[in-house]
Amino acid sequence: MGNRVARDDFEWVYTEQPHTQRRKEILAKYPSIKSLMVPDPSFKWIVSGMVLTQLLACYLVKDLSWKWVFFWAYVFGGCINHSLTLAIHDISHNVPFGNKWPKWNRWFAVFANLPIGVPYSASFKKYHIDHHRYLGGHILDTDVPTDFEGWFFCTPFRKLIWVILLPLFYALRPVFTNPRAVTPMEIYNTLVQFLADFIIYHLWGWKPLAYLVAGTILCTGLHPISGHFIAEHYMFLKGYETYSYYGPLNWITFNVGYHMEHHDFPSIPGHKLPMVKKIAAEYYDTLPQHQSWGRVLWDFIFDKAIGPYTRVKRICKPAKSLERHDDGVPFKKFDVPPAS
């Protein structure tokens, strides 16, 4: 377990992300793909059913022993909560109500957040747009691990700990790498979430809350579904920074495995991404892909060629002025010294 990762730095590149050019080529060849860029009318009902299922589960676990609370949190409730985090991902792309009703999307994300137990949706929206605009961008893309993560989590045992603590790193990393002003929506998200938590505690006690929060932490850490966190952008093959997975776990994750297609067309709902692959098959069939998220976790932990440093990072052009996201929060681009 002491076999150290060979890398001691990220894979620095000086090129633009590949998705922009491929998107242009595909749209020029298959303009019909634009017809897929519409809201998903069934999405809000699926998500609502998941939220209500978790509410029912809270009632059912209130009298269980603690060991069964955590068991069901891992094998059932946490899977739903992980799926809800991916629903919030799709909501950040305005899947339920489209671009004409942005506030409806934001508030629906707050609703989808309720079973997760901790406020998350508004902050995710704020940072996720940078992940698409500046994939691998130094400082701007907070999906990329920090230098500390790459340096310290460099043996199989340490990488195992890193996987277990993934939800902690995803939550805290933006605070240290690219802190941004708190938005009103984040405040509303926090107030609504804590009010819901208080109501659940008042009605049924601590066990339902533990079921929700433990499920979120356990199933976004060392869990087969969590393989997508690593599968999506870790450089398993040199020169490739985004990968798709077309296996059955897409059925419960809103097709997040179609990640190459998603980054090419982030405005297309998850349930239509298989159609993108079918229409433009020649662009995707020849690209490397993952066959199993469980195997991804295994390889990440035990392969000395892979670790938190195995990510593509790119230089960001310095900005002359402040820009703003669609939530109104200003941010700066950052100049970066040449890679050594």
Of the listed ranges 20-34, 167-181, 261-275, 313-327, the one predicted with least confidence: 313-327
First to last CA, the chain: 30
Q: Spell out a b/e string for 164-197, using b for 16 or more CB atoms within 10 Å of the CB, else e.
A: ebbbebbeebbeebbebeebebbeebbebbeebb
| Per-residue pLDDT, 121 | 96
Confidence of residue 335 (pLDDT cuts 50, 70, 90): very low
Tens of pLDDT along 28-41? 999 999 999 999 99
Running DSSP on this structure, what letter comes out for residue 294?
Answer: H
pLDDT at 1 over 60: no
| Per-residue pLDDT, 5 | 87
- The pTM of the full predicted model, rounded to 2 decimals, is 0.90
Name the nearest CA neighbour of 56 among 122, 3, 115. 115
| Per-residue pLDDT, 315 | 82
Write phi, then psi, for 277 (nearest 5 degrees). Answer: -60, -40
| Per-residue pLDDT, 65 | 97
| Per-residue pLDDT, 3 | 80
pLDDT at 298 over 50: yes
What's the distance, CA 322 to chain centroid? 26
The pLDDT mean for the chain works out to 91
Mean pLDDT of 213-221: 96
Tens of pLDDT along 63-113? 999 999 999 999 999 999 999 999 999 999 999 999 889 999 999 999 999
- What distance in Å separates the CA atoms of residue 44 and residue 294, rounded to the nearest whole number? 29
Of the listed ranges 66-70, 285-289, 323-327, the one predicted with least confidence: 323-327
Tens of pLDDT along 124-153? 999 999 999 999 999 999 999 999 999 999
Tens of pLDDT along 243-254? 999 999 999 999
Tens of pLDDT along 195-215? 999 999 999 999 999 999 999
- What distance in Å separates the CA atoms of residue 96 and residue 119, rounded to the nearest whole number? 20
Torsion, Cα of 233, 235, 237, 241 (10° steps): 50
Using DSSP's 3-state secondary structure scheme, residue 313 falls into strand
Tens of pLDDT along 150-167? 999 999 999 999 999 999
- What distance in Å separates the CA atoms of residue 307 and residue 4, rounded to the nearest whole number? 9
Q: How many CB atoms lie within 10 A of CB 67?
A: 8
What's the distance, CA 258 to chain centroid? 13
- What distance in Å separates the CA atoms of residue 333 and residue 98, rounded to the nearest whole number? 28
